[in-house]
Structure 1
């Protein structure tokens, strides 16, 4: 006897339609993380292009500059081997007063911060440090002494450098006596009277105009080093081993004062050979570019899973409440729209500031999804609700990526609140009844 088929028995897919849709949403979110990771790679590529543009501008204008000196280098004969080495004498007092004249040079779509530094270096030498070095005066080659000044990129020098010391003028020429202290710099021979340590006393002064890009730093080589720098650049970043003792930063620019004692650094007033790293305690100023759009875009991409996941959850709850399913292709289109937001953000932020780019990109994305929802559900009320929810979500993400120090705290609290809201709205859903309803509908 043949048993007739029961056409009223619901299929597995009909019985668990809502559960399978939830599983599909999870899979779709994970799949959309692939284009999100590709967007992260796009950010890295654009950063590399920006680095290349900065390198090209710096190569023509001048790289970051390190100013070290002036200091006195005197050759001497090593008693044990007869070889020639150098003893280095640092200034007793060193004062640097100057102004940075900043510019923004454009290479393609990228801006590079450069400067022209107008500096005056002055101070005094003292024979005390030389006497403490332990080198016998008879071993010193006084007539081959030289004043040396370390400059990272000689192409940035904009004037003929001369130093006035004890009433005499000493012109500088390119090159250094050796590479014990630095690899690049300028020097001027100063023939001293043999054995006359008193000739080292007295004051010096010199003018230096040097171009560079991004950053300028100074070495605290004086027993007391005082550096006073001002500029019209409104966004400085004070870098290096020592913060300024006094500073002023406002919309008109900045001024900063450093005072460093020899007790604060890692090297003495005189030594021989390359025993110390003279750059170990450098400090200075970085011309900070406030529109770090790639860094902020990268941080925004990290929240892609949150934006996509919450958006899909919202549509899933709409399905449950309206009893009208959204086709998987519609989920895919909405997810792609959420991903395209990041490419819009990157491309627009290269032309405008990040805040305005974020506002335009999020506005376009929210508008597109809201219009698509209105067309799919034939309901302006649902579309307005989706748009308002996405507006709050994108606003929350912007607050997180803008708050660097409190980003983790705000993100954690925000996620907790989002989870609480989802749990609140889903508390009365009878999940067991959904299967029965879907079976009945089938």
Structure 2
């Protein structure tokens, strides 16, 4: 049983330090980002007198831009150098970055905060390919699904806690200073954790190192397109990140304009989606056994079709709430039992998303040949960043086309239906090959 495998893994040095280091890093990323966004939105923090409507997307782009720029080089390094050493270096660098952030909060220097945000994205761009390519080296093929399930589940919890604590703490007395101290403390703990991880040997130590990030990006993507058995699960995982970005971008406007609810309901939905995705990932890990668990992706994709269509259907006739109208808070929203179906749909859609993505992550790691593993999985990181960015523009596209906001949910359902069809086709091909 995968639950037994997971219980064994959390007690072993070849996995637990990585689980802790990633979770602490995800917490720090979101603790800092949402502290900064909250200061921009509600605290009047600005740079070059930019309006907050410009500052927030600039901040978001500064974190994701390094993933586009450096993931390919990071993937090459993950094949050339010991993956554990790369992660140790990245986590040590995080300590210094958090010291810079703490100083910037203390001195109220927005430019330094923005520079630090770009550098944090850079640190994540190098940590992630090393982590992904280290997993098949440190673990057996049968351990990859439960391991990814635990990583994904705890990652979602860490993101949620970081968002909530960052949003709340930074506006309290001495909040920015406390945020800075917390960031440094978590970075130190992450570094101490990753130091316990065993070596994960390089696959091609004699390969030359290229710093041409543009050329290397095209080269890495070409590797992925020449390996369709790896590309397919990478594209599925990229769809998950587009889904998550679409939901995060869409939810505030959907909540206000369609449901007539305020930001407390947005926070409720965010918590529901994050916890649901974590539960889906952990459920997949507990029930999947030692196979690639592809049937769980089918179940997850079907759930995404059913529950997102239902959200669109039950809110389609809602009148648009005009800007400036009084909005209800979370307690009033929950008191209306007609809203419980929306909560159930969103929660079950999130669980379905967690079920969908975990088998695909493990499949890509298992199928990637050792000599190209770092670069192929780095290609996945590039695609994840690209689709997440595309997902953030979902709402803008709907507005430009003058479509109902609910069309976004129908789009999610349509693409998920295509995923179900494709996975069923692949499973039938497998069965036919075995006959």
Q: Same fold (TM over 0.5)?
A: no
More helix by share: 2
Q: Which has the larger radius of gyration?
A: 1
Q: Tell which has more relative contact order, 1 or 2 (C-alpha 8 A, sep 6+).
A: 2
TM-score normalised by L of structure 2: 0.25
TM-score normalised by L of structure 1: 0.25
